[in-house]
């Protein structure tokens, strides 16, 4: 019988970690591979956001390799197998989707998410049967913008949020005014405090519109870098030293790069 891609890749991992395999791979542990999972996951996210299918396929394979590698190490240590992990996840998904695999119905998506959160907390109850805290499962190492999004999302699922979007907009405006007030002072710690509050509130405003602040900011930075690169290219084409240009001259190049991009995007639309 022909091997599946999954089992074939597991065979590669077994060969790499065999006594006569790769010295580097043989030294790895789940802990030593943890940072590689983070790095490769970021590369996968970057590829997905770029839309480059070849890069997505490659990075997806890299992440899958690391996950299989880690699972194999735990299996060799006698803890659990990949099948155990997958079976556990399958049961969890069925349990957390009673509206799909059971006869439960929800009036709206908010009710569904609240039930999801309730089931999740109950799954991790303590020895006395008490459910875990709302934020107990929040990874400490999450990037700040993503962490802020998750905090708002989890808080909303237990009813701790502003009832109306307008109230969030008012909160953002209030935080902006507080930032303006403190930015005129020399109190750096107070400035950090108010800027953090402003970003935290903006993150919630975006979440309510279905926008993740981390993703939106990532697209903004990509857009800036793309246009900046075009500015430098335009300066070279004109035989000018970009760093030596005045701000007004740089603004002219920026506006040209921006106009070119908007024109290209307009032509690409059906």
C-alpha closest to that of 146 among 56, 19, 41, 54:
41
The structural domains of the chain, ordered by start, are 5-83 (1.10.287.1080), 97-136 (no CATH), 144-211 (1.10.287.1080), 215-268 (no CATH)
Instruction: For residue range 61-102, list pLDDT tens digits in order.
Output: 999 999 999 999 999 999 999 999 999 999 999 998 999 998
Find the mean pLDDT for residues 34-44.
93
What is the pLDDT confidence band of residue 142, given thresholds at 50, 70 and 90? Answer: confident
The answer, yes or no, to whether residue 127 has pLDDT greater than 90, is no
- With a pLDDT cut of 70, the percent of the chain lying above it is 98
Q: What is the mean pLDDT of residues 254-265?
A: 93
Phi and psi at 143, nearest 5°, equal: -55, 145
- Average pLDDT of the segment spanning 157-164: 91
CA distance between the termini of the chain: 47
pLDDT (mean) for 246-254: 96
In angstroms, what CA-CA distances link 255 with 7, 227, 258?
A: 53, 9, 5
For residue 37, what pLDDT is reported?
94
Q: Are 169 and 205 in contact (CB under 8 A)?
A: yes
State pTM to two decimals. 0.71
Residue 1: pLDDT over 60: no
Q: Which of 150, 201, 137 is nearest to 174 (CA)?
A: 201
Please, what is the angle between helix 109-123 and helix 82-96, to 10°?
A: 130
């Amino acid at each position: 019988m022909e091997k599946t891609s999954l089992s074939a890749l597991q065979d590669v991992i077994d060969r790499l970690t065999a006594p006569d395999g790769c010295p580097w791979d043989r030294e790895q542990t789940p802990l030593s591979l943890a940072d590689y999972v983070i790095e490769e996951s970021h590369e996968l996210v970057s590829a997905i956001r770029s839309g480059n299918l070849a890069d997505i396929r490659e990075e997806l394979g890299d992440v899958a390799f690391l996950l299989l590698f880690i699972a194999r190490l735990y299996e060799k240590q006698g803890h659990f197998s990949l099948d155990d992990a997958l079976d556990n996840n399958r049961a969890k998904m069925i349990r957390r989707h009673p509206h799909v695999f059971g006869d439960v119905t929800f009036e709206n998506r908010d009710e569904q998410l609240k039930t999801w959160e309730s089931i999740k907390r109950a799954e991790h109850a303590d020895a006395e049967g008490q459910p875990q805290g709302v934020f107990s499962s929040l990874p400490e190492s999450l990037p700040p913008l993503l962490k802020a999004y998750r905090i708002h999302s989890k808080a909303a699922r237990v009813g701790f949020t502003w009832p109306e979007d307008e109230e969030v907009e008012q909160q953002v405006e209030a935080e902006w005014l507080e930032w303006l007030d403190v930015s005129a002072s020399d109190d750096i710690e107070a400035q950090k405090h108010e800027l953090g509050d402003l970003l935290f509130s903006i993150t919630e405003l975006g979440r309510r519109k279905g926008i993740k602040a981390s993703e939106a900011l990532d697209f903004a930075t990509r857009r800036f870098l793309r246009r900046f690169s075009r500015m430098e290219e335009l300066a070279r084409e004109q035989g000018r030293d970009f760093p030596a240009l005045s701000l007004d001259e740089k603004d002219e190049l920026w506006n040209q790069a921006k106009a070119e991009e908007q024109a290209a995007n307009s032509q690409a639309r059906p």
